[in-house]
Structure formats: C-alpha cells, structure tokens
C-alpha cells in the first residue's frame, strides 16, 4: 500500500519539477494587462486628495492651526471691506517725533487714489490750502506730509483737488462746525509732563 503511494507521490513530484513550456507572447500579454489596469498619474493624484486617511495632531497644534485659519479668514474679509465713496480712506494723523520742547512732528496721511492734489489746512497754517501740500507715494494714492506742530489741540481738514473738503474720518471731528465743513481735531503734546 505504501509503495503505491510512494510511486504516486514520486510521479507528482516529477511532474511539478518538469519545466513548463510557456507561450513566448505570454509575458507581453501579462504586462499589457497590468498597464491597462494601473491608474494614470492624474487618477493617482485625484485619489491622493479624495481618499480619507487618518492623521495625528496634538491639541496644541490643532488650536494653532484653527487660530491661523481664523486669522486668515478675518484678514481676507477685511481685504474685501467696502471703501468710502471716491476711493478715499484715511489713516489718522499721528505724532511721529518730538522736536523742540512744546512741539512735535505730526504725520498727516490721506489715501485718495483719484486725487490730483491734496493739502492739509488748519489753525497751524492759517487755513491756507497752498501752504502745506501732501506728497503722493511712488505708487500713488497715499498722500502724506510731516509737519511740526506746537503742543495743544489743533483743528484741521484735508482739501482734495482744491475744492473738496474732507475731515479725517479716523480722527474725532470738532464739536463745532461753524461753516458747514467739519474739521478734525488732534491733540499734540502730553508726553513729557
């Protein structure tokens, strides 16, 4: 009985050990089929984007990422905020330096892209539109001038194109408006006392 089995096993082994004769075009056919089944570069890229995958994130990193995202959203929203009519917006007059005691250099800035000329008038230059013109930046649109002013409150306004009176929207307006064209107010001083 055992001899019969041994003989059968021997024949199977011999059969398995015998070299298999393959069709010479077999390799080519297999490779063609594989290439056809493989996804293209674009499909792979798309799959990379849409296939869900788990990733690990610490709570701190997650918070930082959320804060950064919120910041980007806020900045983006501000970038699309509507501007005042005429394309003008202003930054408040700011004190940039102290000069002699009791006087400081104040920077007046007006953003007026469509303006041809801008001047600042006030109680510091006898309200003379020809005395203190603002200079436009190289890109245009942003007008500024630095002016030494003595300490104390000052009223001022911008004159655009020689006829358009504009108060500084970023500065408080003078309570009194005697002539129907409101002024802005800046208080110079109060640093050294």
What lies within 8 Å, CB to CB, of 153 at 6+ separation is 185, 186, 187, 188
The residue (of 56 and 78) whose beta carbon lies closer to another protein is 78
The residue (of 58 and 192) whose beta carbon lies closer to another protein is 192
Shortest reach from residue 178's CB to another protein, in Å: 4
Residues that bind another protein (CB under 8 A): 121, 123, 126-129, 151-153, 155, 165, 172-176, 178-181, 183, 185, 187, 189-193
Q: CB-based burial of residue 63 (10 Å sphere; 0-12 exposed, 13-18 middle, 19+ buried)? A: exposed
The residue (of 23 and 126) whose beta carbon lies closer to another protein is 126
Grouping H, G, I as helix, E, B as strand and the rest as coil, residue 63 is helix
Shortest reach from residue 123's CB to another protein, in Å: 5
Measured CA to CA in angstroms, residue 34 lies from 25, 30, 38, 41, 157 at distances of 14, 6, 6, 15, 78
The residue (of 113 and 152) whose beta carbon lies closer to another protein is 152
Distance CA(193)–CA(189), nearest Å, equals 9
| Beta-carbon count within 10 A of 157 CB | 20
Shortest reach from residue 126's CB to another protein, in Å: 5
φ and ψ at 139, to 5 degrees?
-75, -15
Shortest reach from residue 152's CB to another protein, in Å: 5
Shortest reach from residue 179's CB to another protein, in Å: 4
The residue (of 113 and 151) whose beta carbon lies closer to another protein is 151
């Amino acid at each position: 009985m055992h001899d019969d089995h041994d003989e059968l096993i021997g024949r199977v082994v011999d059969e398995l050990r015998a070299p298999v004769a393959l069709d010479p075009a077999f390799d080519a056919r297999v490779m063609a089929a594989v290439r056809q089944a493989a996804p293209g570069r674009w499909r792979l890229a798309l799959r990379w984007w849409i296939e869900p995958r788990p990733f690990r994130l610490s709570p701190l990193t997650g918070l930082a990422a959320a804060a950064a995202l919120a910041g980007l959203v806020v900045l983006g929203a501000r970038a699309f905020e509507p501007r005042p009519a005429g394309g003008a917006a202003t930054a408040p007059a700011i004190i940039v330096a102290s000069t002699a005691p009791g006087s400081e250099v104040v920077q007046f800035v007006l953003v007026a892209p469509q303006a041809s000329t801008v001047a600042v008038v006030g109680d510091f230059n006898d309200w003379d539109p020809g005395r203190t013109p603002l200079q436009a930046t190289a890109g245009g649109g942003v007008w500024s001038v630095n002016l030494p002013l003595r300490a104390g409150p000052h009223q001022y306004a911008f004159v655009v194109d020689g006829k358009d009176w504009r108060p500084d929207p970023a500065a408080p307006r003078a309570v009194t408006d005697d002539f129907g064209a409101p002024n802005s107010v800046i208080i110079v001083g109060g640093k050294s006392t």
